[in-house]
Amino acid sequence: MILVKPDIKPTMSGIGSLAYRFVTRRFSTLLIASTAGAFTLNYTLNKATDLYWDTVNKGKQWKEVKLTIQ
């Protein structure tokens, strides 16, 4: 018995393929992209969640109460 593999042409379009061609295909670019991504995601996520936290808990936290104590 012979194994026959039908040749499938991957369609190259969309961001997925762009990401593949320029980033995920090579380990070097993947490493750079994930490192940079980790830093930016960490930074923005912390900024955004801290902002949300400080908005919903406005006036209740120690850092704000401290200012009202002389």
Residue 17 interacts with another protein (CB under 8 A)? Answer: no
What dihedral do alpha carbons 26, 28, 29, 35 form, nearest 10°? Answer: 140
Residues 6+ apart with CB under 8 A from 23: 29, 30, 33
Residue 62 and residue 65: Cα distance in Å, rounded? 5
DSSP state, 58? T
In this complex, which beta carbon is closest to another protein, that of residue 28 or of residue 56? 56
Residue 9 interacts with another protein (CB under 8 A)? Answer: no
How big is the site for another protein, counted in residues (CB under 8 A)?
24
Touching another protein, residues 31-50 (CB under 8 A):
41, 45-46, 48-49
Interaction site with another protein (CB under 8 A):
1-6, 8, 41, 45-46, 48-49, 52-53, 56-57, 60-62, 64-66, 68-69
